[in-house]
Structure 1
Amino acid sequence: MTEYRSVAGIAVYREPILQETQQDTSNDLHDMYREPGQRLYLLVKKPRIDHSWQFPQGGLKKKGNETVAQGALRELSEECGSDLVVDLIDTDAPFCIYQYPFPPEFIKSKKKKKQYAGAKVQFVRAKWTRGQCRPDGHEIVDFAWLTSKEMLEFVSPDYAAGIQALVSDDTPI
Structure 2
Amino acid sequence: MQPSAGPALPHTRTRTVHWISTAAALGAIVAAGALVQPADASPTAARAPKAPVAAPDPRAAHYPLDCAGSPVDVVSSVSGDLDADGRPETVAVVRCQADTGTPPSGVYVLSVPTTPGGAPVIAETLVNPKDQRSITGFRLDGRTVRATVLGYSSPDTPRCCPDLKRSYAWEWRQGRYVALPGPLPNSI
Give TM class, smaller chain.
under 0.3
Point out the structure with max Rg over C-alpha. 2
TM-score, scaled relative to structure 1: 0.23
TM-score, scaled relative to structure 2: 0.22
- Greater RCO (Cα-Cα under 8 Å, separation 6 or more): 1
